[in-house]
Each structure stands twice: as structure tokens, then as C-alpha cells.
Copies of this chain bind each other. A is one copy, B any other.
Amino acid sequence: MDTPVDPRTARSRDAILAAAHTLLVREGPASVTHQRVAHEAGVGRATVYRHWQRADHLLLAAMSGSDLPFFRSPTSPVRPWLHQELRKLADELTLPAVAAVTLTLMQTALWDPDAATRRNHSSAAVTTRITTALDLAQETGELTTVLPSEDAAALLIGPMLYRTAMEAGTVSDMLISHLLDSVGTWRD
């Protein structure tokens, strides 16, 4: 494993990815072209072609830079922990950088199978984590759930996404509380 890598390759690679990400966030996916990225990265155009033959692959790579740090390692009691995680996620979703990546991924997935794959991985990861947390809450008797666990992610995250991306609004703590109540009955 881990083949030693020429530092030059790594440097250009990182510069290109950062530039592509910057351009995506600042001007939208249409601006992520070999030429624009090369200029933004301070790198030769041929170098960008060398690393990514196609602009859409580069865009996809630029989107998957940061893996979501949410919903990992739940603690008991689960409710306050989950509330906090949802709060953080809601705040992230209002950041242009995060909104741009999320919506671009969802939209691109409609036509690009690779993007669809990555989108599926993302949503599967989130679903798994949320399910894990809710399972823990149920084992400890903190929660009595009233719906299939695979619906929980949609129920919790969907409204926050809609509020931020469609209504251009903010997610109140009250709304988060309400979402938590909608997945089941909480004790303690």
C-alpha cells in the first residue's frame, strides 16, 4: 500500500483541487474548467489535463474533499447529542461552501453516474450513523421509535435542507426539537 508519491505531483494535485473547490463555491460548477482552474491554481493548463482528463471528474473530486464529520460516535443520552449534531449540520448548510457542494452533488447525480455513486455513499453514511444513534437510544430505553429506522435520516435532515436551500432561511432550535420529537417518544 501507499506508494511513495512525487511531491511535485502531490503539490499540483492539491493546488488544483483547492482551486476547483474555490471556483465551484465562488462562481458555480460551470466555472470549473481546465483553464480557469489552472489559472486559479497558478499551474500550467497541461498539468490540469495531466491530472484530470475531464472537467466533470475534477469537479467531482473537488466536491469530495471533506468527508462529513457529523453523527459520529453518539453518546448517551442521545437526544442532546443528536440535537447538537443537527444544530452543527444546520449551521454548516448555511455556509455557501457546503450548500454549493451539497446541491451540486445532488444535481450532478441526475446525469452523472459517478456523481450518483458518491451521493449514494454520502447518504448511506449519514443514514447508517443516524440509525446507529437511534438504535443506541432505543437500547437504553431513552427512545421509543415509531417509524422504520431508514426513514429517520430523511425526516431529520430533509426539513433542514429544505429550509436552508429552498427557503433560504435558518433552522431554529425549536424546529430541531420538533424534528427529534417526530421520530419517536423520548424519555428521561
Q: List chain A positions with a Cβ less than 8 A from chain B.
A: 27-30, 96, 99-100, 103-104, 106-111, 116, 119-120, 122-123, 127, 146-148, 151, 153-155, 157-163, 165-168, 174-175, 178-179, 181-182
Contact = CB atoms under 8 A, between A and B. Distances in A.
Copies in the complex: 2
A59 to B, nearest CB: 10
15 contacts: A28-B111, A29-B107, A96-B110, A99-B110, A103-B110, A104-B107, A106-B107, A119-B168, A122-B166, A146-B178, A151-B175, A151-B178, A154-B166, A154-B167, A155-B182
B154 A159 contact: yes
B100 A103 contact: no
A166 B110 CA distance: 10
A9 to B, nearest CB: 29
A interface majority secondary structure: helix
Given A28-B111, A158-B158, A161-B161, A166 B103 contact: no
A116 B100 CA distance: 14
A78 B107 CA distance: 33
Nearest to A102: B166
Contacts of A182: 155, 178, 181-182
Which of A103, A108, A160 has the most B CB atoms < 10 Å from its CB?
A103
A153 B147 contact: no
A178 B154 CA distance: 12
Contact of A167 (B127, B147, B159, B163): B127
